[in-house]
Amino acid sequence: MVFDFKKPTVQMLGRWQPWHAGHTALFEKAISKTGQVVILIRDVQGIDDNPFSMDNVATNIRKALKQAGYTHDKEYTIIKVPNIIEIAYGRNVGYSFIEYDLGEEVHKISATKIRKEMREQGSIKYIDMKHEDWPEG
């Protein structure tokens, strides 16, 4: 089976900086709806607290989803997109916006906290950001 662009598909749009267990849980909820998901990666490296390149993000997604038992270009595909900040739509456009409640434990997972821990471990560097609450480093 190959990813079918004509088949109903769930879209996930995000920065994925970095992809984490909460994103995988969301993916699993999304894939349960249609059997396939398109993951859109916003091109935001270097903007605010977004240290990872689009290629790095895509690689991390593929690794995590492979570990979870999914195959790229079969159950999901990845598309790199511009820094989308708003999604505009007209009435009755044939799709909907849905927020999934993945439970308190999953909702506690924070990529911001993960990036902070990565910086403390030295695996990524501090970058110039606009967030007032970020520690100097």
Q: Answer yes or no: is 94 within a domain.
A: no
**In-domain check, residue 95:** no
Is 20 inside a domain boundary? yes
Q: Is residue 67 part of a domain?
A: yes
Q: What is the pTM of this model?
A: 0.83
In single-letter form, the type of residue at position 60 comes to N
Domain containing residue 42: CATH number: 3.40.50.620
Residue with tokens 């916006």: 97
In a domain? residue 91 = no
Number of domains observed in the structure of the chain? 1
Residue 136 lies in a domain: yes
- Asked if the structure places residue 98 within a domain, the reply is no
> How far apart are alpha carbons 28 and 72 in whole angstroms?
14
Residue 79 forms part of a structural domain? yes
Residue-wise pLDDT tens digits, 29-83: 999 999 999 999 999 999 999 999 999 999 999 999 999 999 999 999 999 999 9
Q: What is the strand order of the sheet 10-14 is part of?
A: 10-14, 37-42, 76-81
What domain range includes position 36? 1-83+104-137
Q: Is 81 in contact with 117 (CB distance < 8 Å)?
A: no
